[in-house]
Structure 1
Amino acid sequence: MRSNELLQIDKKDMQVKRIWTFAVSNGKRENNRYFLNADVIDDNTMLALFHSKSKHRFEIWKITRTGNSFKVKEAATTDGDLISNSSQVQGFTYNVAHKCYYIAFNDYLFKIDAKSNLVNYYHFNAKREVEGLASYKSKIYIAMNKRAEVFDSNMAKQPQEQALKK
């Protein structure tokens, strides 16, 4: 049985303040979800991404903490793997203002709405891979590997060929 660990770090001395262990399942215990990507929304809420290879979909789980207890709920599920070359997810974030999720693979970025629909996808030819995603207000931030650079973009509705800027 797989479980997830969540650490709380004290900002003053950067020491581990608390460690929580929790398991998330969609049915049988042997089908526990193990999360490699998550986005902390606030002090008590995070969204976590799980790829179900056998079901060819991504599941987004809302995990809410009350004290030392956790409640989980499946928030969204994609229809398909999004990308066909078995690339690992390299970034995941949720934009609170626009109520949408972003999932990044190499040089592709997928936008998923709150109802699990693929809204759009973006391809950029930077010849580098994504290292992480974040969003704040109307922007999404994409950290690239090799030369440490962060691209940003507004999230207004634009054509698929939207250019990201440094």
Structure 2
Amino acid sequence: MKTIANAMVKSGQLILTDHARERIRQRVGIVADSAAIAWVAEQVRRATETKRDGSKTHYTTDLFEIILDGAKVVTVKPSEHSNGYIAKFNEVLTKEATKLLATYRRELHKAEIAVAEAQLNFLKARNPKVKATIQRRLTDAADYKATIEDEIKAVEKAAARYGVTVQ
């Protein structure tokens, strides 16, 4: 079956689904079926990337992604490579994540200093009541530091989920 479908694709004998016909009309402006089939066949030949997803084959060109199921054209959609908004959104996300991380890292530095000061004061103290008070402050400072570290990890994880790398 795959070899027959491949031969049909190579020879340009494709079958358009109603959905694909409508998408080609909307996105490319081709109305005639014969012209649409010829356009799809040319795009498949010029594809820079091909990937399989079960029975479907995705052909990616500079502007479009064409999905075929055997010799049947399932749909035509814009390629992510041609979407300029993705780069713009990545830029904005990178900037916002960097600002958030800078703020949290400043807070983390302050929290680390507070923990170190509390530890130093605890070591200097001799009175048990003063030591107990300093111990509570030390615990609070350590908890605050851990909270900030968790926030930093959450921002980094959220940025990574969207494919944004931050320092």
Answer with 1 or 2: which has the greater Rg: 2
Task: Answer 1 or 2: which has greater helix percent.
Answer: 2
